[in-house]
């Protein structure tokens, strides 16, 4: 069963499980705890009803510490597992996993917002965002797809099927500051089969003045006004 006290002693495994280092985890943890206490009053039950006994009574929860709760939700966000499989990693039933996911996601979002770590969701705001120009407006754009459960509805199956991934997926466009390695902008979520260039154009991203933009072949022909774009070329394979 995954526990923070055990996983923190294995830096490479910790990074693989959460997407961040233990140092970054420790910086996030106090904000996560503060956000949790703001969203969920200690005098109320998990169902938002007044408590009849003191807080902390009864059996100890599997996710008793805030460190384990943060590890739980970061690992879920990083690996996107089935809830049953996620429960096996933390000693929880599928129902408990579902409960904790819905309880902790708002906490994580609020904690990241308090730290100024949330990306812009409005493409028009990128031009004035300090995160986009930090260290110089050197940006990279890419599309990212994540697998979803196969929809039951036939029309939804067709809409969500990505030929590139040979699976049903959702897609977002990410804009990253190459200097800070931080995500500056996250587009709306759409079906995985939508072309990267089309989604970028629909996002109506406005870039900082004199920005540079690195892109791949999925964005060929995407040339925002006033932006210097670059598309790395693949090295040819040497013939033996």
Q: Quick check: pTM over 0.75?
A: no
Cα dihedral 149, 197, 131, 14, rounded to 10, equals: 30
Taking the C-alpha atoms of residue 184 and residue 198, their distance in angstroms, rounded to an integer, is: 19
* pLDDT tens digits along 157-170: 888 888 877 889 99
Tell me which residue of 28, 50, 45, 52 sits closest to 103, measured CA to CA.
Answer: 45
Taking the C-alpha atoms of residue 203 and residue 120, their distance in angstroms, rounded to an integer, is: 12
Nearby residues of 93 by Cβ (< 8 Å), 6 or more positions away: 87
**Tokens read off for 183:** 């995500």
Taking the C-alpha atoms of residue 197 and residue 217, their distance in angstroms, rounded to an integer, is: 9
Angle in degrees, 0-180, between the axes of helices 94-114 and 66-79, rounded to the nearest 10: 100
**How are beta strands 161-162 and 138-147 bridged, if at all?**
unpaired
* pLDDT tens digits along 174-218: 999 999 988 999 999 999 889 999 999 999 999 999 999 999 999
Please report, in tens digits, the pLDDT of each residue of the chain (240 residues total).
899 999 999 999 999 999 999 999 999 999 999 999 999 877 666 666 776 666 555 566 788 899 999 999 999 999 889 899 999 999 999 999 999 999 999 999 999 999 888 899 999 999 999 999 999 899 999 999 888 888 888 888 888 888 877 889 999 999 999 999 889 999 999 998 899 999 999 999 999 999 999 999 999 999 999 999 998 876 766 665
**Tokens read off for 76:** 């879920």
């Amino acid at each position: 069963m995954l526990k923070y006290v055990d996983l923190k002693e294995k830096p490479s495994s910790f990074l693989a499980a959460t997407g961040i280092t233990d140092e970054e985890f420790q910086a996030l943890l106090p904000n996560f705890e503060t956000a949790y206490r703001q969203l969920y009053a200690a005098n109320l039950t998990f169902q938002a009803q007044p408590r009849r006994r003191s807080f902390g009574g009864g059996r100890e929860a599997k996710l008793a510490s805030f460190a384990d709760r943060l590890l739980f939700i970061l690992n879920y966000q990083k690996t996107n597992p089935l809830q049953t499989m996620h429960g096996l990693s933390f000693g929880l039933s599928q129902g408990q996993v579902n409960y904790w996911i819905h309880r902790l996601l708002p906490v994580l979002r609020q904690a990241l917002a308090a730290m100024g770590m949330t990306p812009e969701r409005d493409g028009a705001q990128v031009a004035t965002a300090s995160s986009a120009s930090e260290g110089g407006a050197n940006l990279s754009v890419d599309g990212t797809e994540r697998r979803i459960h196969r929809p039951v509805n036939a029309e939804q199956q067709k809409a969500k099927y990505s030929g590139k991934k040979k699976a049903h997926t959702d897609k977002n466009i990410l804009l990253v500051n190459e200097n800070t390695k931080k995500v500056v902008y996250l587009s709306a979520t759409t079906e995985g089969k939508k072309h990267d260039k089309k989604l970028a154009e629909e996002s109506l991203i406005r870039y900082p003045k004199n920005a540079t933009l690195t892109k791949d072949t999925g964005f060929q022909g995407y040339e925002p006004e006033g932006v210097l774009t670059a598309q790395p070329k693949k090295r040819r394979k040497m013939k033996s």
